Structure 1
């Protein structure tokens, strides 16, 4: 009975937070991509690979939610509602237990974000710009230019998103104090 009470701490649950919905969306997106790339003749291969990828995505989401729930002391199904509250910048919860759980989640997320930042960005820069350099060296200026443009756009967006998420976490930490 205690688990049910804790599960209802953050009642802002939505249908898109369910693992089955996440799995079906991943299946549909991957199946569509595979059919476009490989053609409709390879529908069985596309279906099997899309199913395996969607199972892997659901596994990763489930594992991350469990880890976040363990770090924050709440139920795994409550983690998406807490994330939404953090990202939207809404007011912190009034209940002291909810505030404590959210503060623990904020602390955990910020620690992971800052810990992985030092190696993740240089590695992505190396991969994206290295691919562009390889295209230029091989003589394909068009592919190298497209890869370079996509690398700049993606890394710019990723940097903006990372800084924005870090700022939102810091703001929520200050509001929780």
Structure 2
């Protein structure tokens, strides 16, 4: 029997997928990060900057969901559930209309993922390793070493995440064709 704290009912999904939850999460993260770097005395500017950042994040998420919904023929509220099903490797939907919508979403995500990888990873490597080199050039071996380790860990994690997502998309594409 499934334990109640692990049950993923519709209310939990709607709450997690809501734009309000995304905006408030971005606001909280932005405020904490700004307060960490600028100190507690800078809370008005931290709150204002984080509020603007969270509005921008909600705008981008909403725009992406509408674009994906228009491409797939699904409702914007259905797009996060389809993405979760792809990432968790669940079975494809039985309904032919939803199956077609998911196939279009998988194709779109994989095309976008592969289209941007040729420039995104080299640019991130340049930024991460360039920052480390600059710290070494100015004479801060400690900061240079820390940013070098951070660069290696970050790029390693991004590469693993990218390959994992690409593999999940390919697996779902094969399941949809079967």
User: TM over 0.5, yes or no?
Assistant: yes
- Compute the displacement of 1:12 (Å): 8.9
Instruction: Show the 5 A alignment for 1:16-165.
Output: 16-165=16-165
Give the equivalent residue in structure 2 for 1:7: none
Query: How far apart, in 1, do the equivalents of 2:12 and 2:96 lie?
Result: 17
Aligned to 1:6: none
Aligned residues: 168
CA gap 1:162/1:78 in 2 versus in 1, 3 angstroms: same
Q: TM-score, normalised by structure 1?
A: 0.91
Structure 2: gaps (5+ residues)? 1-9
- Give me the whole-angstrom Cα distance separating, in 1, the residues matched to 2:144 and 2:33: 23
Q: State the superposition RMSD in angstroms.
A: 1.5
- Structure 1: 5+ residue runs without aligned partners? 1-9
Are 1:175 and 2:175 counterparts? yes
Normalised by the length of structure 2, the TM-score is 0.91
Structure 1 stretches of 4+ with a deviation exceeding 2 A read: 10-14
Rounded Cα–Cα distance in structure 2 between residues aligned with 1:16 and 1:132: 37
Q: Using CA pairs under 8 Å that are at least 6 residues apart, name the structure with larger relative contact order, 1 or 2.
A: 1
Task: Give CA-to-partner distance per residue, 1:25-59, whole Å, 9 cap, x none.
Answer: 11111112222221222221111111101101111
Deviations 1:46-91 (A, max 9, x none): 1111110110111111111111112211111111000000000000
Q: Deviation of residue 11 (structure 1)? A: 10
Distance 1:11 1:29 in 2: 24
